[in-house]
């Protein structure tokens, strides 16, 4: 019975991750379809800012989990410092990568004016969705490890 519950929770989590990205894809399409020009870019920026907040919250949650593992002596000091430093560094590098990747996508699309904004913000949202899924996966690994331990 316990195994069935864990499988059900894992499936629900996986479905919610995919659902979140699909929701954003629909929201992006809706922003573009229902708004013209600068209004569509503003609509997309709202979704992007929400993603950015979600990413920051997930990273904070991971840092809390790492700190808790360190306090419980489940993670050595050197590994803790490496994980914290690497998470913070990867966050900065992912943001820089996203900017560059979406600059490329915008340039390669040939879109101008608001069309360029739509390409750029849509790209940033897609990459943000990927980062959110990745970070949620890390948190799931922490909770799975806690279940196995407990």
Rounded Cα–Cα distance for residues 55 and 137 (Å):
12
What does the block give as tokens for 134? 């990745």
- In angstroms, the Cα distances linking 89 to 49, 93, 100, 113 are 20, 6, 17, 33
Three-state DSSP class for residue 73: coil
pTM above 0.85, yes or no: no
Residue 72's H or E segment, with its range, is none
Rounded Cα–Cα distance for residues 81 and 116 (Å):
41
Q: What is the pLDDT of residues 4-36, one digit of tens each?
A: 433 344 444 444 445 566 777 888 899 989 988
29 CB-side CA count, 13 A:
5
Rounded Cα–Cα distance for residues 17 and 12 (Å):
9
Query: What is the model's pLDDT at position 23?
Result: 76
What does the block give as tokens for 122? 């849509």
Contact 40, 118 (CB under 8 A): yes
Query: What is the model's pLDDT at position 12?
Result: 46
What is the DSSP annotation of 82-122?
HHHHHHHHHHHHHHHHHHHHHHHHHHHHT--HHHHHHHHHH
Which residues of the chain have a pLDDT value below 50?
A: 1-17
């Amino acid at each position: 019975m316990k195994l069935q519950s864990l499988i059900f929770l894992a499936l629900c989590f996986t479905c919610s991750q995919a659902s979140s990205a699909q929701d954003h894809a629909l929201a992006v399409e809706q922003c573009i379809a229902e708004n013209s020009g600068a209004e569509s870019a503003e609509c997309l920026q709202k979704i992007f800012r929400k993603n950015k907040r979600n990413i920051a919250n997930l990273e904070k949650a991971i840092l809390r989990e790492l700190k808790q593992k360190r306090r419980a002596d489940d993670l050595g000091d050197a590994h803790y410092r490496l994980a914290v430093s690497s998470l913070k560094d990867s966050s900065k590098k992912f943001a820089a990568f996203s900017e560059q990747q979406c600059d490329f996508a915008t340039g390669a699309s040939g879109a101008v004016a608001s069309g360029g904004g739509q390409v750029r913000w849509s790209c940033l949202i897609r990459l943000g969705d990927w980062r959110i899924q990745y970070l949620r996966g890390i948190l799931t690994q922490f909770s799975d490890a806690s279940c196995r331990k407990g």
